Structure 1
């Protein structure tokens, strides 16, 4: 798996390292040396200015300066504050024999590379405006851990962080490396190993991961499987039938054995889709119809009424689009669903009292309604009621097109239909959705997504085998 550790969790891991055989000062030496290696490999030799803060981030900067200077690079260190007496950073500052200069704008402008070693991911206050102005004047920034002013736990900007071209972090990413605006402010993020003992990680049981195929396993049909064993999904279709058709195509492509569209005026449905205009109660009498998708193109009033009937019948429900709008201001109406898939506007109408931190907001919402929350966006967050969460980072910008959300809801429902657990279904669906969009390219329209899903899924199977 690809765990994401908050700054507080990473601090606990760092604190455990000495008892596991690796001192803090040795880790700092390894971290700074790693930054220097990255700079040497990525850039031509040029004048480097290290802006060093008072803590461990600054200590890493002193080490990076020393290693670059030993390789013949011209390096100045400009402390924005002295290291704390007796700290590992102070010990590393004492080993620096090169120029120590004042941190002024002229030196920042003159440098070919500015190494931002001022504050790391654990900053809990806004960055000082004077420091922000210094960093903003740099032509090229390599940030250590995160750009100063980026909150490693949330990705939010504390003050006015400067844009880094490259960010070097250590051992594991933090949520702020994947969540916006932090992801953008980091530029390219490299995660490098620095010798942290594996045993040190045992003191933290993280519940946050980067969303990759290591987090879930796609369902595999048994050799004796038939269509009913692969599951029967029912999608409620309304006046905007295109939404339901997009969802149906996606659910079939990820392996749902049978898909029924319930609604009228669906004569143009593909031949492999069952179309039924029967009353909802009639379909609910069929116990094989356990998984339902409610909302896309259905109409707000109809979606609200249908949702209530489905939940009263104890069905597994993915609620999207109009079903979410029907619960605006009354999120308790969603109690009993398996998953919801709101975009930012829908989420704000459902949970208007939550703040700006997407990861925490999604977790609280999931706990409130007892369902998996897929908070859609360029940094989609998938949160389970038990506190597990994944952050997705593979979605290209051209996925922001009409109908792509209907397709995502269909993928989730199709995986649920095959018996995949809700959290894993949602994580897998979001990742497949992003990969299919990348495969389709920048001319993507929603209709392109479903046909690329089997190829993307096969690539995962071949990789894991």
Structure 2
């Protein structure tokens, strides 16, 4: 996991470093040199224009300018302050630069073939205005690469709504840990590629600072571990039930069921309305089939199947029948994945669902379904905060889908998955994800970990398939995803053993 820190906590990390013997000028020097190194690693020498603001962000830019000039790059600096008005260590950085600076007016680019945006950092609390806004507006019309220090100017580090002018970068170099704006859209797209540089904050900062989120990275997947145990059998790997829609809407349930089976569940059953039995039977092989009469019959079916997790919602239909089935399933206390129609069916009376949810539930809404259940919330809240507030309100796990999927649970640090592909935005993709989540639940994973790990597996399948994928491709790609994940864990274990015990 990689921590995501609030803007204020990032500043606290800098103060912690200073309190523990790392000078503030050393931190600025490390930051500026990291920016220069990132530029040199990606581009050949070319004329560079650095737009330097009055604070520490501008100081980082001045150090980067100094390092690039020392490497033989032609560099000019436009300083958006009088030298005597520089704050923090920016005055020291200006002395290190020790070369002429240009006034910010008028907007003149000269021969610049790369621009470094060091105007404002993550702590910006008001819209960019005046001359800086004019320069950012002019910058938006240029085709040369833009490198932002910490964040493109005009973007707030905690991913608050955009207001006013903001720049868009090809590369953003930030320091120590990323901030919400680096991972939440539309801010993340404006950052371009994000490189997080180590500037020397010493160990121990974690004791005083709680991350606002953590990013998922090669998760542990309990069904995979169970499947690789020598004495395992199918019932130990979890039994999943998936509820089907009507005869004309059975495909979504089959996608969920096949995904659950491919993700490692030992036994998966589709619970089918009588009129859809033949349709489902004709398309199923390894997935089992059970007759389900709807509504109150939901509890009987789950008990007879000895289900350990269930999926309700994909193409079940919006209305009273689905509401009754969901409420009956909730009465069993089983781990449930509620998706699509299972959520939308409660749009007119969300409290009827939210007050009956229990901690073993996972809701998997996209932004539209989320708004139907939880409303618009605070306009200033970012996606992480909205998901966490919803999870606390309904006492269960919320997997809020999108380019950065957020998994939030009461009392837990939210998890973010950006390991995905834009090609996952296709019909049926969410049904596959619901089945994978259910597999983790049936194997005994916590809802928080099952949801986050499933999002990563789903995203990895999307990345492997790439352009042109359709939802039907995803389950068949899961064995490849799981093999690669198992191989990576084995390599990590071998390396850890080597470090501990030697050869």
What's the TM-score, normalizing by structure 1?
A: 0.95
| Cα drift, residue 215 of structure 1 | 7.2
1:199 aligned partner: 204
CA distance in 1 between counterparts of 2:160 and 2:417 reads 14
User: Using the alignment, how far apart are the partners of 2:421 and 2:378 within structure 1?
Assistant: 26
Query: Do the aligned partners of 1:114 and 1:140 also contact (CA within 8 Å) in 2?
Result: yes
The CA deviation string for residues 313-343 of structure 1, in whole angstroms up to 9 with x for no partner, is: 2121110011100122443313226111111
Distance in 1 separating the partners of 2:134 and 2:87? 30
Residue 264 of structure 2 corresponds to 255
Q: Distance in 1 between matches of 2:239 and 2:92?
A: 65
Cα offsets for 1:340-396 (capped at 9, x unmatched): 111111111111141452111111111111111111111211111214212221221
Quote the offset at 1:101 in angstroms: 0.5
Matched residue of 1:446: which SS? coil
Query: 1:260 aligns to what SS in structure 2?
Result: strand
Matches within 5 A, 1:158-237: 158-214=163-219, 219-221=224-226, 222-237=229-244
1:151 is paired with a residue whose SS is: coil
Q: Which residue of 2 aligns with 1:338?
A: 361
Which residue of the other structure, out of 130, 154, 158, is the alignment partner of 2:159? 154
1:382 pairs, out of 407, 415, 418, with 407
Contact 1:262 1:275 in 2 (8 A): yes
Cα pair 2:158 2:179 within 8 Å, conserved: yes
Contact kept, 8 Å, 1:2 with 1:214, in 2: the verdict is no
Matching residue of 1:447: 472
Q: Distance in 1 between matches of 2:222 and 2:62?
A: 44
Cα 1:327/1:252, change in 2 over 3 Å: same
Q: Does 1:276 align with 2:290?
A: yes
1:14 — aligned with what? 14
Q: Contact between 2:311 and 2:435, CA under 8 Å: does it hold in 1?
A: yes
Structure-2 residue corresponding to 1:319: 338
After the TM superposition, which of the residue ranges 234-243 and 287-296 deviates more from structure 2? 287-296
Contact 1:155 1:181 in 2 (8 A): no
Corresponding position of 2:500? none
Alignment correspondent of 1:243 = 252
State whether residues 75 and 98 of structure 1, in contact with CA within 8 Å, keep that contact through their aligned partners in structure 2. no
RMSD between superposed Cα atoms in Å: 1.9
Could you tell me how far apart the structure 1 residues matched to 2:134 and 2:213 are? 33
- The answer to whether the Cα contact below 8 Å between 1:234 and 1:292 also exists between their aligned partners in 2 is yes
Residue 46 of structure 1: aligned partner: 46
- Unmatched segments (≥5 aa) in structure 1: none
Report the count of equivalent residues: 465
Match of 1:70 in 2: 70
Counterpart in the other structure of 2:498? none
TM-superposed CA distance for 1:458, in Å, is 1.4
**Superposition misfits of 4+ residues, deviation over 6 angstroms:** none
Deviations 1:109-140 (A, max 9, x none): 64212111111122122222542331232332
Q: Does 1:140 align with 2:145?
A: yes
Q: Could you tell me how far 1:217 is from its partner in structure 2?
A: 5.9
> For 1:192-239, what per-residue CA distance to the aligned partner results, in whole angstroms no more than 9, with x for missing partners?
212221223432122411121257766411322222221111111112
Does the CA-based 8 Å contact 2:47-2:112 persist in structure 1? yes
Aligned counterparts of 1:34 and 1:282: Cα–Cα separation in 2? 62
Worse overlay, 135-144 or 316-325 = 135-144
Q: Is the 8 A contact 2:314 2:431 kept in 1?
A: yes
The correspondence for 1:370, drawn from 392, 395, 403, is 395
1:358 maps to what in 2? Answer: 383
- Output the CA distance in 1 between the equivalents of 2:450 and 2:418: 17
- CA distance 1:424–1:236, change in 2 (3 Å): same
Q: Which secondary structure state, in structure 1, belongs to the residue aligned with residue 234 of structure 2?
A: coil
Work out the CA distance in 2 between the residues paired with 1:218 and 1:190: 33
Matched residue, 2:123:
122
Moved more, 123-132 or 270-279: 123-132
Question: Unmatched 5+ residue regions in structure 2?
Answer: 491-503
| Structure-2 separation of matches of 1:186 and 1:199 | 29
* Inter-partner Cα distance in structure 2 for 1:105 and 1:403: 53
Distance 2:171 2:105 in 1: 22
Assess if the C-alpha contact under 8 Å between 1:155 and 1:182 holds in 2. no
Question: Equivalent residue for 1:108?
Answer: 109
The change in CA–CA distance for 1:280 and 1:85 in structure 2 (over 3 A counts) is closer
Residues in 2 aligned to 1:321 and 1:113: alpha-carbon distance in whole angstroms: 46
Deviates more, 1:137-146 or 1:404-413: 137-146
Tell me which residue corresponds to 1:400. 425
Structure 2 equivalent of residue 291 of structure 1: 309
Partner of 2:496: none
Checking the alignment, whether the CA contact within 8 Å between 1:79 and 1:103 is kept in structure 2 is yes
